[in-house]
Chain A
Amino acid sequence: MSTVSVRYFVDDVDAAIRFYCQNLSFREVMHPAPTFAMLSLGDLRLVLSAPGGGPGGGQAMPDGTLPSPGGWNRFMIEVTDLDGLVSTLRRQGTRFRNDIVSGVGGRQILLEDPSGNPVELFEPVLPEARLSERES
């Protein structure tokens, strides 16, 4: 069975587990070390690594550079009620980078996990619209 793996760097793995599991319906697959956890949501497997945790994905580069959270690349979660989810998350104090924006393919917003990693929430319009029209 294939899954899609994405690795995110987080400063506090336990806080990230709580965030993703409580707010976004992720499931904890394993948390064998304080610096590492694996969560899943559908076919997405989210690997959480603390910078410097190791060996493996969190370890420093050969030149000593440590990975860090943040950036713009992100995974996307498709939702059916974006407004409802966003207002729930806002009430719980979740940070968003922007407000809901509309493209041709759907409506989306960027939220941040506790370490500042972006997560894109996306509410698609009709599937055929996503392919027949250019995302704007």
Chain B
Amino acid sequence: MTDPLDALRLPVIPVEPRREFAEHLLQKIEGRERGGPGAATGHGATVRYFVTDLNGSVAFYRDLLGFHSELIAAPAFAMLYRGDLRLLLSVPGSAGGGSALPDGSVPAPGGWNRIAVRVDDLDATVAALRSRGVRFRTGITSGVAVRQALLHDPSGNLIELFEPGAGYRERAPAPAG
């Protein structure tokens, strides 16, 4: 006698695991998954920098600082990522994020606020970047629990490189009491 529920059961379809799927799963397990293209609130963080030369800036961040390009909409906009950081590059005066304000003021590169990129070996990183012509704003300085150096991107935006030292905490300790 056949099981009366057989007709309701879904057929079992053998699935061939894809390499990308396995890789994605592994990243999830190992916690090194980045915010994907569709990542919204709560995963990763997004920063917008203004740059005057889009292609030159994309090359700088990609070739010297290990960013990957996610979207390049030359000549006005690009989206890069490095780990959980998504970096938007906007050319001043372009529409959207680069557009002028109602009072006519136009965004510009520069200022002091900046991203801080963690590196494992600051001395080696600084030496390598200097040898490739990168301009530094400071030499290596020591802060509290970190050593750091400030460099310029081609448009004059600052980027802070830091190397954690003893006492450095990535996150807050669990609240006590």
> Hey, which bits of chain A sit against chain B, CB under 8 A?
1-9, 27, 29-30, 32, 36, 38, 40, 42-44, 47, 54-57, 59, 61-62, 67-76, 78-80, 97-99, 101, 103-105, 108, 110, 117, 120, 122, 124, 127-128, 130-131, 134-136
B143 in contact (CB, < 8 A): yes
CB pair A76–B47 under 8 Å, yes or no, is yes
Please, how many angstroms separate the alpha-carbon atoms of A93 and B101 in the complex?
A: 20
Q: Whole-angstrom distance between the alpha carbons of A124 and B102 in the complex? A: 22
A117 to B114 alpha-carbon distance, docked (Å):
11
Residue positions of B touching A, CB distance < 8 A? 31-32, 35, 37-50, 70-71, 73, 76-77, 79, 83-85, 88, 92, 95-97, 99, 101-102, 107-118, 137-139, 141-144, 146, 148, 157, 160, 162, 169-172
Q: Which residues of A contact B113 (CB under 8 A)?
A: 6-9, 69-71, 73-74, 117
How many angstroms from the CA of A42 to the CA of B39 in the assembled complex? 12
The 8 Å CB contact of A3, one of B31, B84, B157, is B84
B48 touches A78 (CB 8 A): no
User: Which residues from chain A contact B85 at a C-beta distance below 8 Å?
Assistant: 4
Let me know if A134 and B144 touch, CB within 8 A.
no
Give the docked Cα–Cα distance between A4 and B80 (Å).
Answer: 14
- Given A2-B32, A127-B38; 4 other pairs, CB 8 A cutoff: A5-B116, A36-B144, A98-B101, A122-B46
Contact residues in B for A56 (Cβ distance below 8 Å): 141-144, 146, 148
Cα(A55)–Cα(B165), bound, Å: 14
A127-B76 Cα distance, complex, nearest whole Å: 20
Give Cα A101 to B70, complex, Å: 24
The 5 A-B residue pairs whose C-beta atoms are closest, nearest first, are A71-B111, A56-B143, A127-B38, A103-B96, A44-B45
